[in-house]
Structure 1
């Protein structure tokens, strides 16, 4: 072979290899970003003559020089190489990538096409849409970098109300998670998030009882308390949305039924042990610390007003504090009945919780334990903490120096 012919053939082989490498690169890019590329030789074996000499048979392989191989042989080599690279890439990224499937326990067609958004810690978002599958509606995110994600999703309540809720999920592999709009299935963190989203008033009701797995908490107020800092200074209203006030009464978890709950003090954080009046303030902190950490984390400070003595031992001043855990005042329980017991200053600065104005309206429903449970209000003439006696009468005689302990707190 002449030197010029040999040189020309080398140039052709280099050109063929360059085209081959470029083609593989293009297909890998398509496979990586689209995930649907199929490399295959699909020319039928019914060609004849010069055509088959160029295209080759379906199962041709490169047995010698790549540049002189048939088209099908080149395609088959490329498919083998692409599959090998894809398998290697898959093994390389497997420790870093997971998948997420989210679903709602509903077959309502209203979910079809509803958008779900997942956002990673850096603020990057992906969207998916609910489709009918496996007897419910679900959405899949088949390729997510492992880590924590915030999920924003729609939930359809009874009566057709749609709320937009948020939850968190940690993608550690192949994760399947149910989405809730049911207050009684939510975690405490999800309940707090629904408050932050301003949605919980759409599906929580006075008298509902929720659980953190250790204790239960009955809703006594919705958007009645005002969030504050630890000193009692009110927060700007732009800093919060819904506020849920709850009280551990030991009641069974479940929806309100139009009446007061069946309380059980032995199932509350403090149990059936009485507290001395002189120890009320110092006992609030250990009470709070008995709550599970997940519950402590969702509790915020709210402003509380209590009548206090001035230098002339007259209840004409008001003590304003920020509290995460607090006893109820006389008016918060009895409403207008409290005007004859607490100071007028305190009365004018407080309100009645809806649980006691709407549901717990009988003596029996307010008689929580041992006929006597303590309030934070100070009796105007006796200077002692007031208490609820027999469910109907606030302390007028100072007979008790101790009583049952039923603090409350707020989630927002």
Structure 2
């Protein structure tokens, strides 16, 4: 089955066209037929599309809204010169959507109907920048492909519904949870779930015996403690701001700072929130960039003190979370790196794992250095816990969930 996977932002759209079914999932022969993205929707949008493993093609077009963007990318997919292996929209059997927030109601991927749309709308106040855009993607596909094409929502928060109360509750008046559902929700769930599934597959470990720590490190970063295939703790909280240092997000800080910064800088609460979400993290510490690649180059070439400081704080925070999750689970069998930084920055992985030999964590320097964007074990021979790099594939999991949901199959991996 050909499944359109969409990740829709307020003015952007990322897509993949996946060919998957029960047999392909069993044999791991799912095929990526096309992928790409459109940015600056609402004006002169810029796009980059590619068929299979071909070189990307790029261009621009006036696209006034998400429906126009979906129409444009689908027209490219079925065009004779796109080299995509389908030639009619009728060959697209379903659509799967990344939905950022499912609240406490959506604990699994679900087929989208009017009731689900209302449920997603009810969580908008928990993810005001994301869920409205996700809904626009659903509505655009329905308008373009028609209501008969099934659509499925795959929630970032769903994987973390297994967190126990001791992990998801904050030490604030319990009434705030009862009245307003103030709690830890966690994010990047689809990525953590894929990495956990893939590690079991690689190592032949039964689900019930799994005990690992997954690290999704990119512009957004989160850690997850996984036992028995289920999330038992994670670093992001009520919003994606909590936890690790990220590209532009601060991660953990003293909440009393909000009032202090507001008073000293003459900001309202919204201004402080913008500062913490968009002007902090690697960018805020370095004063240079939120791109880890650029920071590493600046640190190595010019020995820039603040670039080094940003990298050091980033790695130190990850190391602290590894230690806390080792304590929470009574040890772990593996530490798994994923995400753009986790998959492609050997120097960062090495710095994170420094001084962790007390816990059994020891890298093979040659294996770590050689691993860029590929699946590999990078720990020293015999070291426990093992350290792995497992490139995440959220789109594959969304496509598989979509197939499973519309065919009445279990989505638990």
Both structures adopt the same fold (TM-score exceeding 0.5)? no
Which structure ranks higher in relative contact order (CA pairs < 8 Å, sequence separation ≥ 6)?
A: 2
TM bucket, shorter chain: under 0.3
Q: Which has the higher strand share?
A: 1
Larger Rg: 1
After TM superposition, the score normalised by the length of structure 1 is 0.25
After TM superposition, the score normalised by the length of structure 2 is 0.25
Q: Which has the higher helix share?
A: 2
